[in-house]
Structure 1
Amino acid sequence: MLLDTPVRLGVQIEPQHATYPQIRDAVRRLEDLGVDILFNWDHFFPLHGDRDGLHFEGWTMLAAWAEQTERVEFGALVNCNSYRGPDLQADMARTIDHISAKDGGRGRFIFGTGSGWFERDYDEYGYDFGTAGSRLDDLAAGLARVEARWDRLNPAPTRSIPILIGGKGEQKTLRIVGRHADIWHSFVPAEALAHKLSVIDRWAETEGRDVSGLIVSNELKTRDASDADALFDAGVRLFTLGWAPGDPDYDTVRRWLAWRDAKNGV
């Protein structure tokens, strides 16, 4: 894992229970505050609160963010591999990468992805839910196709698009992390991270891949500064914060930005 990288703060703007003007304004204000990464999620219905409340689709939103923003990186936390073919996902990611590149620079898109879990999405949109194992197998096969498609697209992506993979299962998920991920995201507590990272290392050795540059990511929403300190000591360098644009709490974001800056010696 990469420990000499600066601490970064990502805010996950929940695409639910808010109008799009509220979401657009949140993107602008959070970038101006100095957040490093903006995330949404890839679902079709709210995950909490009124289950039939306001909700927006994730990938079209990310394309809008690519045009709107100037500095922040951004992506889904996380894309669902089941909802779109892998070659299409690769092309969408490449296109958003180019949209986000300003003045001929590099794009800012992060390809966060996972195997899917929210059964209502599958049922109402007509996807086969399968099993947790079959969805993970599909993710492993899909990522190989995504990477192969990136190598064939014209124009190519502006950079090697970072792949973020979420989850903690040791037999399949962490093997996929060891094979493909640049960023590993989880909710694993600090005391369990060393073990999980050793599993990733073993799978990476099996896959013949060097993961010394892996960025470890974790969530702050239900945690305090002492928890974040422990996660930092365990190797986490990307901290994410679930956040509701319909009831925006910028003071909490400012507090975590101050914590980030203290860790970075700013």
Structure 2
Amino acid sequence: MSPTPRFGIMTAPSQVSYDDILRVWREADTVPEIEHAWLFDHLMPIFGDPDGPIFEGWTLLAALAAQTSRLRLGLLVTSNRFRPPAMLAKIATTVDVVSGGRLDFGIGVGSRPSHPLARREYAAHGLPFQETADAVASFAEACTVIRRLWTEDAPFDFDGVHHRLTGAFGNPKPVQRPHPPIVVGGRAAATLRVVAEHADVWNIPGGDIEDVISRSALLDRYCGEIGRDPASITRSIHLPVSYDDPGATRDAIREALDAGFGHFVLSVASPYPDGVAKWVADELIRPVTA
């Protein structure tokens, strides 16, 4: 069991108004038990009305960074398929600066292509769709490019298979040094190899705790193969919140704590009850950490 579990909330920026999300984040910013807050990265709804409203994640994150003062914040997780890595590095640096160094940089291979409402995002926005093997290789290169842009003091060229840059350079640098924590989301074996090489935090959706445990063990193995201490990667889990049955959510948190997870993203659904952040602290966090 982790001695210092850290809890945060997720508000999906879909089928909801900016004012509602802002209300929840401002409240969460005043609740000490809630240490971090997250959005997701989709361009079209993946639940509810397929033609309903949805906000672009990084733009909204910058706005929320300017409206909060304490919460760490990020996207769970950025789709590497949506933005070239050098552009993404610049966007993320901007958010880290706006927030005063509170960004947790969430990134993954890309939005679930098997989900029919996610797959349509690409054609609708004129974005190319890479099949899985190429997408994972592109993701690994992107992690390398982004880290170099954040840390290197002179322009560089990068001649990868999927990304090629000439005279790449990042200025300003992020506030956080050497760079914002890199949070990689995913469960596939190929993604876990990238986690082992690049991530400070690994996030996986909850639901089947035995699968979560087996994926964590696989990550340990991949770390061992490259000589990295598995304990250097924080284990994070994304869990849905039940307003009607908080006991079930508390049980899921306790299971994950017992499995060695110390970073929790609790997804709150809209419409958000009044005082939802305080409710999360009172009904979910305090009972499992007392």
The answer, yes or no, to whether TM exceeds 0.5 is yes
Please tell me whether the aligned partners of residues 41 and 79 of structure 2 are also in contact (alpha carbons under 8 angstroms). yes
Please tell me whether the aligned partners of residues 7 and 260 of structure 1 are also in contact (alpha carbons under 8 angstroms). no
> Alignment partner for residue 236 of structure 2, among 204, 207, 217?
217
Q: How has the CA–CA distance of structure 1 residues 21 and 227 changed in structure 2, closer, same or farther, with 3 Å as cutoff?
A: closer
Counterpart of 1:236? 261
Aligned-residue identity in percent: 30
Counterpart of 2:171? 154
1:50 aligns with 2:49: yes
Partner of 1:82: helix, strand, or coil? Answer: coil
**Pairing 1:129-208 to 2, within 5 Å after superposition:** 129-152=129-152, 153-159=170-176, 160-170=179-189, 172-188=190-206, 189-208=208-227
**Pairing 1:1-266 to 2, within 5 Å after superposition:** 3-4=2-3, 6-34=4-32, 35-101=34-100, 107-116=101-110, 117=112, 118-152=118-152, 153-159=170-176, 160-170=179-189, 172-188=190-206, 189-221=208-240, 223-245=248-270, 247-249=271-273, 253-258=277-282, 259-265=284-290
Please tell me whether the aligned partners of residues 8 and 260 of structure 1 are also in contact (alpha carbons under 8 angstroms). no
Instruction: Give the C-alpha shift of residue 208 in structure 1.
Output: 3.3
Deviates more, 1:218-227 or 1:37-46: 218-227
> Could you tell me which amino acid in structure 2 is paired with residue 237 of structure 1?
G
Structure 1 runs (4+) deviating above 6 angstroms are: none
2-structure distance, mates of 1:108, 1:263: 26
1-structure distance, mates of 2:122, 2:266: 26
TM-score of the aligned structures, taking structure 2 as reference length: 0.82
> Could you tell me which amino acid in structure 1 is paired with residue 238 of structure 2?
E
- Give deviations 1:18-70, integer Å, cap 9, x for gaps: 22222222211222233211111111111101011111111111111111110
TM-score of the aligned structures, taking structure 1 as reference length: 0.88
Q: How many residues align?
A: 256
Please tell me whether the aligned partners of residues 13 and 243 of structure 1 are also in contact (alpha carbons under 8 angstroms). yes
Instruction: Give the C-alpha shift of residue 94 in structure 1.
Output: 1.3
Instruction: Give the C-alpha shift of residue 131 in structure 1.
Output: 1.2
Partner of 2:81: helix, strand, or coil? Answer: helix
Instruction: Give the C-alpha shift of residue 252 in structure 1.
Output: 5.9
Instruction: Give the C-alpha shift of residue 175 in structure 1.
Output: 0.3
Please tell me whether the aligned partners of residues 7 and 263 of structure 1 are also in contact (alpha carbons under 8 angstroms). no
Deviates more, 1:85-94 or 1:207-216: 207-216
1-structure distance, mates of 2:274, 2:197: 37
- Give deviations 1:145-180, integer Å, cap 9, x for gaps: 11111113333222231111111112x111011111
1-structure distance, mates of 2:274, 2:263: 19
> Could you tell me which amino acid in structure 2 is paired with residue 187 of structure 1?
P
Q: How has the CA–CA distance of structure 1 residues 49 and 193 changed in structure 2, closer, same or farther, with 3 Å as cutoff?
A: closer
Please tell me whether the aligned partners of residues 107 and 185 of structure 2 are also in contact (alpha carbons under 8 angstroms). yes
Structure 1: 5+ residue runs without aligned partners? 102-106
Instruction: Give the C-alpha shift of residue 133 in structure 1.
Output: 2.0
